[in-house]
Amino acid sequence: MRHGKSSWELNVSDEDRALLQSGVSDAKLVGEALSQNGLQPDFSFSSPANRALHTAMICLRQLRFPLGNFKVIPELYDFSGNYVLKFIKSLPNNLNTVLIFGHNHAFTHIANSLGSKHIENVPTSGFVHLQFNEQSWASISKETTFSDNHLTLTTIHTSQILVSTSTPKKKTSHTNLTTHHITHPTPQPTQTL
């Protein structure tokens, strides 16, 4: 999941930027949608950036996720996707479903590198759900992305739970991508896949 909408108003480092109120609200809405759809990750990871950590805490609270199964990974503070992909491929094979909180352009790159549906941009608070028919995280590739119930990478990044003002709440499933449209109280651009 990509972090929620963040502020550029304070004179702080990029890693310390905070969420805007809309980012807080969106993270909560995404977490509620994931909870309603029964998402139960084995483990969750986040970038150390304030905006990603805050998004993770808000979303995971909605899932009633045990924080003993949550870890901050410095390498997830990545914008290219190279370190994120390396991290994913190094995951222990006893984890079947993981939830990762991080940044763009890394998450758009991961979604397009490993998924079968092209995504122009993962928006803030967007959520991408990828499934792989593999027994090893090291073996995942675009060619092994399926929608069955084997290893699941749930990249919860603010880009695949799309927020719009005109779309009613519903779930749309694609081969390996799940998109949730959530009604948002303030106008934001709508992206469709």
Indicate the helix (H) or strand (E) that contains 62: helix 50-63
pLDDT of 15: 96
Q: Which amino acid is at 44?
A: S
The per-residue pLDDT for 135 is: 87
DSSP state of 179: E
Q: Do 91 and 139 meet the contact criterion of CB atoms below 8 Å apart?
A: no
Give burial (CB, 10 Å; 0-12/13-18/19+) of 44: buried
The residue ranges of the chain whose pLDDT is under 70 are 143-193
Q: Give the model's pLDDT for residue 128.
A: 87
pLDDT per residue over 117-164, tens digit each? 888 898 999 998 888 888 899 998 874 433 344 445 554 433 333 322
> Domains of the chain: which residue ranges?
14-183
pLDDT value of residue 134:
84
Residue with tokens 């969420």, as numbered in its chain: 19
CATH class assigned to 14-183: alpha beta
CA distances from 43 to 71, 93, 95, 190 (A): 8, 12, 7, 30
> Can you give the pTM of this predicted structure?
0.77
